[in-house]
Every structure is written in structure tokens, then in C-alpha cells.
Chains A and B, each alone.
Chain A
Amino acid sequence: MNRMSDEGGIYKKMATYDKRWVYLALFVIVLYSLIRPIGMPIGISAQTKAYKAELDTLQEGDLVFSTWNMEFSGYMELKPGVLATHKIFIEKGVKLCIAFGHFEGVALPPEIFKQLKKWTDDYDYTEGEDYIIIGYVFPNEAAVAALAQDFHANVRVDWKGQSIEGTFLDEIQNAGDFDMISDYTTGLATTHLINHVVLQYGVPMAVNSIGVSVPGHLANLDAGLITALLASTRGGAELEYLINSPGPGLKSMDAFTFGHYSLIIFIIIGNIGHYGWTRRSGARERTGIR
């Protein structure tokens, strides 16, 4: 077979494959890895270790403002970090004030506390005594600013309409009375919290962010505006490993790894095809998958 007489041949096919092959391959690889995980080792990043070290500074009875600035779709990515962090909070016995930054947040507590039932039962961690959910209180920046300045003027009841008077939230006059903010974010009210709470009152803030927002938060981390950063599903998996509590994060790391490697393979295939095709055809055409 005289390959040199081909117009593009195999190289052209490699350079211009249909993107649906990428979708199919990713889907099959990720699905199989999720159904039959191998349990491959993972590396633990310095960033996750620093996040855990920040949480370890909390003492029993400390007040933490847990802000769930995520839609339900974002929760799917942040789930390992959310669960692992709240396990730490429960074990340490910190008091949590949970607020949502999106109306879909109302669907989150039943889902999250169902997964944490073993911990809440073992440590007798109950709603109203150890944690209070104040609901969707961050629709915009003005609400964040108002709540930060005068907590009880803006929040009188919890998400089920029960008064918060006589609870541990009586100690909170403004946002500066919290010992830490634990933020789980897809980018909703995080900047507002930094502007109106961190910069105004100096409250340390630990952020668990989706992957695409991590580069933006790295600048905040470096500037000291946030004290710790947990990056996406992988960070959550690393935290699960550090606290010796395997969960959805570690289960999905095989899929994570294979997904990344398959993308790398597709890029390599495309580049080999591009190089071979352009050399063979002698033209510097723009190639791309269809």
C-alpha cells in the first residue's frame, strides 16, 4: 500500500475526528470507572493540607458561618468537600450557621444531612442546638452587606420559620462575631462576603470552590483575603483521605484520572494527525475536529 499517494489518509482522520467520539469515549470511561472503581492512589496537594490545617484551628463551640453559595448542580461538584468539611465541623463540635446563596439551596440540607446522619447521630449534632439553617439570605450584595452589619435586624427566623432567639446565634451581633466563614461556592456571593465580611471584620474565610473558579480564588488566597482553598472534587477527595473518611470524592477519583488521561490522549492523537497531515499535504491548513 503506497501511503505517500494518500491525500491525508490516517493522519487526516486523526486530525479531524468527529467530536462525538470524544463524548462517547469520555462517557464510557467515566461511567465504567464510577461503576467499577479500581482504587488508584492519589497525591495530596499542599493546598488541601493547608485547608485542613485551617479547619484544625477551630475549637469546640466556635461559631462558623457556613455559606452554601451553590446551586444543586454546583453541589454535585463540591459534594466531597462539603461532606468532608462538615464531618470535621461535627467532630470538633463547632456551631454552624448555614446560609444559602441560591434558591436551590433549600434542596441541599436534606441531601447533605442524610449523608452525614452517622456523624450527627454519633456526635448528637442536632438542628437548633448545634446548627441552624437560616435559609436563602444572599440574593444580592445589599443583602450580604446588611446581614454583615446587623445580623439580627436581617435574620429573625430560620428556614422553617422558627425564631432564632434563645439560640447560640444570640451571640452574633454582626459578621465579625463569627470565628470563621466556610464558603462553598460556584461564584455567587463569595466576592460580596470578602468585601463586606473579610475586609470589614477580618474574619478568616476558607473556600471550597468549583474547578473553573480556582484560578480567580488563588489570587485571593495569595493576597490573604481567603485563608484556605479547597479545589473542586479533587480537593474534596484529598480531604476525605486526610480525615480517613472515604466518600464520593475518593470513589470518583479513578473516573477523574481516566477522564483527564483520555483527554490527553485525544490531544496527542489530534496533534500527531495535524503534524502528519500538514507535512504530507505540504499545506499549513487549519485542522480541527468536526
Chain B
Amino acid sequence: MTNALFTLPGFAEGRLVGLLLLILIFVLAINFMGQAKLPYIRRVPALDAIEDAVGRSTEMGKPVVCSYGCGGFDYWTVAGLSILGYVAKVCAETDTRLIVPTGGSSDSYIVREAAVDLVRNAYTAAGRPEAFNEDDMPFLSGEQYAYTPGYVGILVRERPGTMVMTGSHWSEAMNIAEMANAVGSITITAGCYTSNMAALACASDYIMLGEEQPAAGAYLSRDPAQMASIRVQDIYKFIAIGTILVGLIAVNFGSDIINRLLAT
């Protein structure tokens, strides 16, 4: 194991640099969240696809199916909820039926309530509170492999014009995306881990890769906290790229300074 570069008495060895990086995240995030001017985030191309796809569903008289994930309140689910709010708004404005399958894990019980409020508020804001139907947000199951056939069943029976699958989906994502394709829906998905991205890229018409999903969620919600998060992540990506490059050069010159700097 590499020896850490900095140590402090009484402090866990090798964790000082990690603590400093964490403190920097806190400072940057709080700073950006407090700023009056929102950070710039480019519009993710998949958002245009969502609008076009919902329009297509409206013309065909078919419903839209949109899910926000199976997980609890994690990084992906928050993004998925923002996108769900947007899709609900568009559906409310265009008088298109929106179906939101919920469930998939034991943590999904908590998120469902937030999702129901979100969709109800979207319909109310569009001036169509009577169009909101909680029965169109069925709780399928708290188990992943019971949720999956329920979701697939909805797709087969309702034959939606568009399926938007965002948030935290795991192995069931492939099942759902492929079935959506089979029933002729425009399939817009977001991959939340490496293996999923590869499979969904094959099965979907449009895919949001990795961080495009939280970026899309932040762009749509215009929430200063979410947008600040994206900005902080971007800064840290540059820090990571810089560290990698410096480390690459250092290692090639026989120095392990970066290894020791990051060692725990």
C-alpha cells in the first residue's frame, strides 16, 4: 500500500486530502447555490426528442408512459423526477394521457409520494387539475422482478406512442426498453450505470448518457440547487482531468507523488 503524502497527528492517515476535497465541494456548492445568477447548462438533445415524441403521441391519440426510476432518493431519481415533472407539464398542456408506473424497490415507496405530488402539481399548473388521475400512476411492486412484468404489461396493453424511462433503472431497463420498441413506441431512456448504458443504447431511439440525465433534470427544473450541483461536478471533472494528466506525467518521470497524494 502506498504511503500517504500528508499525515496529521490524530487524523486518519491518508484522508486529509479527501477531507480537503470534500470541504471544497461543500464550499463550491453552497457558493453556487447562493448566487443570484443561475449557472449556464446547455440544453440536452434528448429534451427536444421528448417534446417531439409527446407531440407524436398526442397526434396518434396514444398515451405517454414515463417512469422516474426504481431507487430511493438518490442522484438519479432526483433527476428522473425533474424530467417527469416536465413530461407531465407537456402532457397536461397537450391533453395527452400520462401513465407513470411506480415501484421497483423497497425505497420506491417514499419516492412515489413525491412523484404523485409532482404530477398533480403539473396538471394543476397547466389549468387541468381534473385531468390528473392517480390510477394512472400504479404502484406495481416493491420488488424489481415483479415491477418489470407489470411495466411490460402496461406497455403491451396501452401501446403508448412514447416511453420515457429515466432515473435509476437496473437490469429491468433492458426488458422495458425492448418491449417499448416492440410495441412501436418512441423509446427515450437514460442509463444510470455502465452496463445499462451499453444495453439501452442498443434498445432505445434516444438515450441520455450518464450525466446528461441530471443535467437535463437541472435544465428543466431551473432549480438553483440542481444547477449548482452540475456546475460543481463540472469543476471537479476538470480537477480530475488535471490530476490524471499530472499523474500520468509524474509516473512517466518515475515519481509517485500523485499516487501518494491520493493514497488512503
Contacts and interface: CB of A to CB of B under 8 A. Distances in A.
A71 B264 CA distance: 33
B145 A216 contact: no
B1 A19 contact: no
Contacts of A216: 193-195
A215 B197 CA distance: 12
B131 interface: no
Contacts of B198: 215
B145 A73 contact: yes
A213 B195 contact: yes
Contacts of B139: none
A187 B194 contact: no
B73 interface: no
A71 B145 contact: yes
A91 B170 CA distance: 37
Chain A interface size, as a band, is: 10 to 19
B94 interface: no
Which secondary structure characterizes the binding site on chain A? helix
Given A71-B145, A73-B145, A202-B1, A212 B264 contact: no
A187 B182 contact: no
A114 B106 CA distance: 31
Interface in B177-210: 182, 193-196, 198-199
A199 to B, nearest CB: 7
Interface residues of B, number: 13
Contact of B199 (A73, A202, A212, A213): A212
Given A216-B193, A216-B194, A199 B145 contact: no
A187 B170 CA distance: 10
B1 A212 contact: no
B195 A215 contact: yes
Interface in A184-198: 186-187
B145 A19 contact: no
B167 to A, nearest CB: 17
Contacts of A199: 264
Nearest to A139: B106
B171 interface: yes
Interface string A200-236: 0010000000001101100000000000000000000
Contacts of A73: 145
A213 B197 CA distance: 12
Given A73-B145, A202-B1, A19 B194 contact: no
A97 B256 CA distance: 38
B71 to A, nearest CB: 12
Contacts of B195: 212-213, 215-216
Contacts of B194: 215-216
A1 to B, nearest CB: 34
19 contacts: A19-B182, A71-B145, A73-B145, A139-B106, A186-B171, A187-B170, A199-B264, A202-B1, A212-B171, A212-B195, A212-B196, A212-B199, A213-B195, A215-B194, A215-B195, A215-B198, A216-B193, A216-B194, A216-B195
Given A139-B106, A202-B1, A215-B195, 14 more contacts: A19-B182, A71-B145, A73-B145, A186-B171, A187-B170, A199-B264, A212-B171, A212-B195, A212-B196, A212-B199, A213-B195, A215-B194, A216-B194, A216-B195
Interface of A: 19, 71, 73, 139, 186-187, 199, 202, 212-213, 215-216
